[in-house]
Amino acid sequence: MSAPPPSPVAAKDLQGFKYLNDVLPLLRRLRPCGTASDRAGNRKFFADHYAALLLLYFFNPVLTSRNALLQASQLAKVQAFGGGRPVSAGSFSEAQHLFDPALLQELVTELAGRVPDAKIPADWDCLKTLTAVDGSLLPALPRMVWALWLDDDHKAAKMHVHFEVLRGIPVQATVTTGNDSEKQQLRQALQAGRLYVIDRGYAEYRLFQEMLDRGSQFIGRIRDNAVWEVVEERPVSAAAGAAGVRSDRIVWLGCDKSKEVLRQVVRVLEVATGKVDGQGRPERLLLATSCLEMAAELVALAYKFRWEEELFFRWFKCVLGKRHLVSESRDGVTVQVYVALIANLLLTLWAGKKPTKRTFEMFCLFFLGWATEEELQKHLERLKDQAGDSS
């Protein structure tokens, strides 16, 4: 038997717009995008309408597909929220080719700036700008021919995310084909004043130097067969030893030719993870860092914090990112990723802390009308009380 057709989307299924209203002024900045070709002034569906619909899509489980979203656009309540009109399939498909997704990165940056600094121990102040960088694949449909990955039968896009660890928020992202270079994407997105933490897939001495030249620092895992010339052997403190640090050296990293690329000494720490490798031997990591004066135990902790981004990817895909792709072009997928990041930042601002699956579900229940505003507020107050107790 075939599955029954989905139930029509009704106005009673959609509420909670007041929580999204704060972001609408930001979205309105997108209005001029894609209008240059509309000399006759006939366009009625603008970039801010497109982004507003996608934002609504992420927070309401009733909207499970592009067709459901288009149906919702026929409702007066949705039109009042986004300022738009009923949207046809043709207009929606055209939008993904007209609107520049890079403008949404500016909104991500602005919302990220509204998230307050995390409450951290005083000796963690050197980790304040700790930013994990990694890429994660987004499965694509075979007909998405631009999404090159393994072969024609295995398509994927890749999102490259810069994740500020202590505040628990994404601050920057790009979307590429699945086989695109993660190192090259990082090069193009480097910022000043950050402490980047990266895995050994990014281990390239020239990239290390580019981070320094940009005015940032780095902590990165290097390969087990890395070579160096020891300049200074440092003692390992009791606190560092307890954190797994087994050695701490100032070195010239690489061979003599490498000094032409990485033009200053760095620090290499050997850190035991407490696990065993595939051969049953104790697992040890080699961490290279430009932070010559940072306490060794904090270097080890900073690299351990890199896994916070892996948890974010799991959250993003399993909660926000498991929805259907409503667009199939590269720009369309990029817009959907950016709007999902905006949704994540809104949850953080509403909750006052890094959101959990339960908080996301509570907002979805509220948007569905199953939870009252009072019940939602009680949930948020409990989160604030828990954050206060843990500080």
Q: Are residues 76 and 36 in the same domain?
A: yes
- pLDDT mean over 276-302: 93
Name which of 19, 44, 20 is nearest 31 in CA terms.
44
Q: Do 7 and 45 fall within a single domain?
A: yes
pLDDT digit string, tens, across residues 10-35: 444 444 456 777 788 888 888 888 76
Gap between the Cα atoms of 387 and 276, Å rounded: 35
320: tokens are: 């926000």
Quote the number of domains for the chain. 4
Q: Give the end of a domain, one of 274, 297, 320.
A: 297
Residue 269: pLDDT above 90?
A: yes
User: Do 176 and 314 have their domain in common?
Assistant: yes
Q: Which of 99, 129, 144 is the last residue of a domain?
A: 99
- Same domain? 92 vs 106: no
Co-location of 4 and 40 in the same domain: yes
The confidence score (pLDDT) of residue 17 equals 56
Shared-domain flag, residues 255 and 233: yes
Residues 320 and 189 in one domain: yes
347 and 360: one domain?
Answer: no
Q: What is the pLDDT of residue 14?
A: 43
- Please name the residue ranges forming H helices in the chain: 17-20, 24-27, 47-59, 66-72, 76-82, 89-98, 102-114, 182-189, 205-213, 238-242, 296-305, 307-315, 330-351, 357-368, 373-390
pTM across the whole model: 0.88
What are the tens digits of pLDDT across the range 204-220?
Answer: 999 999 999 999 999 99
pLDDT at residue 390, as a whole number: 54
Written as one string, the DSSP assignment of 20-81 is HGGGHHHHGGGTTTT-TT-TT------HHHHHHHHHHHHH-TT--SHHHHHHHTTSHHHHHH
Contacts of 125 (CB under 8 A, 6+ apart): none
Q: Which two tokens stand for residue 110?
A: 């602005």
The pLDDT tens digits for 47-96 are 888 888 888 888 888 888 888 888 988 988 888 877 778 888 888 888 88
Average pLDDT estimate for 115-122? 92
Res. 201: pLDDT tops 90: yes
Question: Please, which pLDDT band fits residue 175 given cuts at 50, 70 and 90?
Answer: very high
Domain boundary among 99, 125, 148: 99
Q: Say yes or no: 6 and 94 in one domain.
A: yes
Q: Same domain for 187 and 313?
A: yes
d(CA 360, CA 357): 5
Contact 289, 269 (CB under 8 A): yes
Res 323: pLDDT = 57
Note the pLDDT of residue 18.
66
The answer to whether residues 78 and 37 belong to one domain is yes
**In which domain, by residue range, is 59 found?**
1-99
Q: 152 with 111, same domain? A: yes
User: Crossing angle of helices 330-351/89-98, nearest 10°?
Assistant: 90
> Hey, what are 52's tokens?
């507003």
